[in-house]
A and B are shown apart, each in its own frame.
Chain A
């Protein structure tokens, strides 16, 4: 039982990270109907910005962990947001109205470009970071003496994810910007007739998605302490799986899909074979696409008459 609870905590941590990346996929898909396969690379860039920021910060001799956390997160969000903005502006906007395959292929090309660009500028070797926030709490002890723990950083991951999700939900549902995003997603022409600058709204959507992916990148570099230029590929695919599982286009779906996926991987590693955890994750993708293509919380695609 204790072991089970530990896996639950670990799985939810991983799932929160997947969920934050998945939101970017789902928001962008919602508004322009394309899967931005370069999104995983934005997450990777966020992780690298975090790494650099942490190193710069600690070499400057500043020791306050909360301050460091805030600075690193903001730096990663800003830089990744700029990347997200530039990608939409330079790559996807000129292709709007082109056949669907064109932006898709461009996204894959862009993803390779960004990987190689980071490899060239940052080197190909794995980067490591010693844990910044050691320590945690022992929640309970099993009969066999197994201690269930939650690390301080896991708590940070949960709190941050909840705060970001609540903030995002508020923005989407209650603000002028959110209304504009939903309007542009459901009928861009009518949105423009209402005076909404649809291109600008799409830009903002890319920036928000990229900033959230960057937070996931920060979490990964601080939680696992190991990154390289290739982490965006796998994480991007996983988060895409999470978005499909939850229902592409649905924000709560993205988080739910992420959490389910994180739990599956965590439990699979614990009770089956850790080497096959990716197989388990992608098997879910295949099953969802066969049996429930609209996802757990997605709306079935209705052909407009």
Chain B
């Protein structure tokens, strides 16, 4: 589905990704874990062409998308719920969802809206409220909902749990699992909360200072003692 080969990216002179190889198969949840500043967010944005990879290639269903403009990549079925959620604060929840729906056939708008509201009933209660007035958890639901409105084949999620109360985090993760199970959407999930992410994902990659330092089935990574001490913090439970 998605294949990165030797992808490097940089902000000016600062190299953020160094020859990253990564794959996401259809229907798979893959998680990308690692410390702050490891390059996780950059990796997701590079898939979308912002910043563009300075070397290597990004392929989607075999098609090279490395040099495509961001909106064309989105049109190929990649939806992104990015870092910081980036809700359109002055627009209503409905308008935010409509913006997400631009790439899906207009005839599906109603059913897609209903299914997002079924997944996140809270958004239904707030449908005419401005995006900027939502709580952090609701904004995260809106960011994911907006991405789903495009009927993506690949969903990129950047730290959906950041700054949220544990109860909300559980709801969000349950929703992610449901999206993958019911729609078969492939998901590339970036998380700092590695315990949670590895429990949810099929496979995982560990990123450190822009390089992939480890990869494998999520269960194996979660059990790996090195990762536990280096990236997951000491497990006391």
Contacts and interface: CB of A to CB of B under 8 A. Distances in A.
A193 B88 contact: no
Contacts of A190: 82, 86, 88
B74 interface: yes
Contacts of A196: 71, 99, 102
A186 B130 CA distance: 14
A194 B150 contact: yes
Query: Interface majority SS on A: helix, strand, loop or mixed?
Result: helix
B146 A194 contact: yes
A192 interface: yes
B219 interface: no
Interface size class of B (residues with CB under 8 A): 20 to 34
A193 B75 contact: no
Contacts of A191: 99
A186 B86 CA distance: 10
A222 interface: no
Given A179-B99, A182-B91, A192-B50, A197 B86 contact: no
Chain B CB within 10 A, most for which of A189, A190, A197, A198? A190
Interface string A260-294: 00000000000000000000000000000000000
A303 interface: no
A189 B50 contact: yes
A182 B88 contact: yes
B95 A179 contact: yes
A193 B102 contact: no
28 contacts: A176-B102, A179-B95, A179-B99, A180-B99, A182-B88, A182-B91, A183-B91, A186-B90, A187-B86, A189-B50, A189-B70, A191-B99, A192-B48, A192-B50, A192-B69, A192-B71, A192-B74, A193-B48, A193-B70, A193-B86, A194-B74, A194-B99, A194-B103, A195-B74, A195-B150, A196-B99, A197-B71, A198-B71
Interface of A: 176, 179-180, 182-183, 186-187, 189-198
